[in-house]
């Protein structure tokens, strides 16, 4: 078994100590040999023992055979994957591009260098080889600094910028802590009816909705988008991007929305569930200014009025409000009754020729998942 452990140390070059001989290293040799090296050997032995009952090696000369080394490494990775760990192995440094809330962790000895973006240490302590100290969970990760994962405890880094690049050497795993979008079918249906378009890079359902995006959805559901785009009036806000300028001017002068101050609309600020539900209730004819409901209790009002189900109420109150939720609620609001009427919002949009009945029917027929 010691031969197997030795072989595994050869397989993942990060578990050797070549990195410690680099010019970047300022950490003490005694610390490496006395503290880190024993930890590495212990962790490797535990890993190998947990994955293999026996590994028969017919000849010690196989240790020098690169093909055999790769085969055994692949077996290790396959066993990890069978346990639900999707691991990757590098041959020397490899650049990995990550997004916000991606987590990169690795097996014992994996090294990483943050080349761009920002990140923080997560789950457990990692070793700052360049600085000669330990970086505890929650600490910021410095760029162009060599870090090593001393034990396979889930320790690694979590990306905190929108995008980051990392050099990684060893056996590593990437998981995302980002919200995973679920309601693509609702987005598809709304897009077919020309009520939702997404951005220049797609639907982006896995990120928070902004005030500007929510306002655009309001005007589309009111059937007033074309009128807004033709509007020549002005607004007092200094933080409105060009793409949403006409929408904001129109909605502000119609009294549909106000800014967060006299000069700021808060275009890029995230939208809360209550804020967006306030918009949706207004499309149904309810008026919070007249006392129909309170905007900060809009979700509760919608549930009590039967516009959303108990399951939907729970969904959007326990999670951060995402574009995924925005499209889900927008779609189902189409079937809610207008205030004081038996007609639905979709009936109104069809009667006003904002939405085609045939297009709506086809979109609805393609719905793939039930309502909560």
How far is it, in rounded angstroms, from Cα 100 to Cα 176?
Answer: 8
Averaged pLDDT score across all residues of the chain? 82
* Statement: residue 366 has pLDDT above 60: yes
Mean pLDDT, range 159-170, rounded to an integer: 93
Which range is most confident: 76-80, 181-185, 209-213, 330-334?
Answer: 330-334
Question: How high is the pLDDT of residue 70?
Answer: 54
d(CA 123, CA 175): 13
Q: In the structure, how many helices (H) and strands (E) does the chain have?
A: 14, 11
pLDDT of residue 32: 54
Instruction: Average the pLDDT over 129-133 and give the result.
Output: 89
Predicted pLDDT of residue 16? 37
Tens-place pLDDT, residues 264-323: 999 999 999 999 999 999 999 999 989 999 999 999 999 999 999 999 999 888 878 999
> Given this model, what pLDDT does residue 304 score?
95
- The pLDDT confidence band at residue 63, using thresholds 50, 70 and 90, is very low
Q: What is the pLDDT at residue 47?
A: 54
Of 318 and 326, more confident: 326
In 3-state terms, what secondary structure has residue 221?
helix
Q: Which CATH superfamily is domain 2-176 in?
A: Clp1, DNA binding domain (2.60.120.1030)
12: pLDDT strictly greater than 50: no
- Contacts within 8 Å (CB) and 24+ apart, 184-189: 185/366, 185/367, 185/368, 185/369, 186/327, 186/328, 186/330, 186/331, 186/332, 186/367, 187/324, 187/327, 188/363, 188/366, 189/331, 189/363, 189/364, 189/366, 189/367
Range with the poorest average pLDDT among 70-79, 103-112, 215-224, 251-260 = 70-79
Please check the confidence at residue 26 and state whether its pLDDT lies above 50.
no
Query: How many percent of the chain have pLDDT more than 70?
Result: 76
SS (H, E, C) 247-304: HHHHHHHHCCCCCCCCCCCCCCCECCHHHHHHHHHHHCCCCCCCCCCCHHHHHHHHHH
Where exactly does CATH 2.60.120.1030 map onto the chain? 2-176
pLDDT of residue 258: 87
> Rounded to the nearest 5 degrees, what angle is found at the Cα of 172, between the Cα atoms of 93 and 74?
95
Check residue 320 and give its pLDDT.
83
CB of 225 within 8 A of CB of 231?
Answer: no
For residue 249, is pLDDT > 50? yes
pLDDT digits over 177-200, tens only? 878 889 999 999 999 999 998 877
The angle that helices 66-82 and 2-11 make with each other, rounded to 10 degrees, is 90
pLDDT of residue 151: 84
In this predicted model, what pLDDT tens digit does every residue of 39-52 receive, in sequence order? Answer: 555 555 555 555 44
| Whole-number pLDDT of residue 56 | 45
Lowest mean pLDDT among 70-74, 116-120, 137-141, 275-279: 70-74
Instruction: Assign 153 a pLDDT band (cuts: 50, 70, 90).
Output: confident
The secondary structure of residue 21, as a DSSP letter, is G
């Amino acid at each position: 078994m010691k031969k197997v452990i030795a072989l595994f140390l050869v397989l993942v070059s990060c578990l050797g100590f070549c990195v410690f001989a680099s010019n970047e290293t300022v950490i003490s040799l005694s610390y490496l040999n006395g503290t880190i090296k024993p930890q590495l050997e212990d962790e490797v032995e535990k890993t190998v023992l947990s994955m293999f009952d026996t590994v028969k090696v017919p000849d010690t000369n196989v240790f020098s055979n690169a093909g055999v080394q790769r085969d055994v490494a692949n077996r290790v990775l396959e066993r990890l994957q069978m346990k639900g760990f999707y691991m990757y192995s590098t041959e020397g440094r490899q650049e990995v591009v990550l997004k916000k809330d991606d987590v990169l962790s690795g097996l014992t000895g994996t090294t990483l260098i943050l080349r761009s973006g920002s990140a923080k240490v997560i789950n457990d302590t990692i070793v700052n080889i360049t600085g000669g100290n330990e970086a505890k969970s929650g600490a910021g990760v410095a760029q162009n600094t060599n870090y090593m994962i001393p034990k396979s405890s889930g320790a690694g880094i979590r990306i905190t910028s929108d995008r980051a690049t990392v050099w990684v050497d060893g056996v590593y795993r990437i998981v995302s802590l980002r919200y995973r979008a679920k309601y693509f079918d609702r987005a598809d249906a709304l897009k077919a009816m020309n009520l939702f378009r997404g951005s220049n890079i797609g639907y982006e359902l896995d990120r928070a909705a902004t005030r500007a995006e929510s306002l655009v959805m309001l005007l589309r559901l009111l059937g007033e988008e074309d009128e807004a785009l033709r509007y020549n009036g002005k607004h007092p806000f200094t933080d409105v991007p060009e793409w949403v300028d006409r929408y904001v001017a129109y909605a502000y002068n119609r009294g549909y929305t106000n800014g967060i101050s006299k000069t700021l609309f808060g275009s890029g600020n995230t939208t809360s569930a209550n804020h967006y539900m306030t918009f949706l209730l207004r499309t149904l004819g309810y008026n919070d200014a007249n006392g129909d409901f309170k905007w900060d209790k809009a979700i509760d009002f919608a549930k009590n009025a039967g516009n959303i189900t108990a399951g939907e109420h729970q969904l959007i109150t326990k999670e951060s409000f995402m574009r995924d939720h925005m499209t889900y609620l927008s779609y189902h609001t189409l079937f809610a009754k207008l205030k004081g009427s038996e007609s639905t919002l979709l009936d109104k949009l069809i009667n006003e020729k904002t939405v085609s009945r045939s297009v709506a029917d086809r979109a609805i027929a393609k719905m793939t998942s039930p309502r909560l």
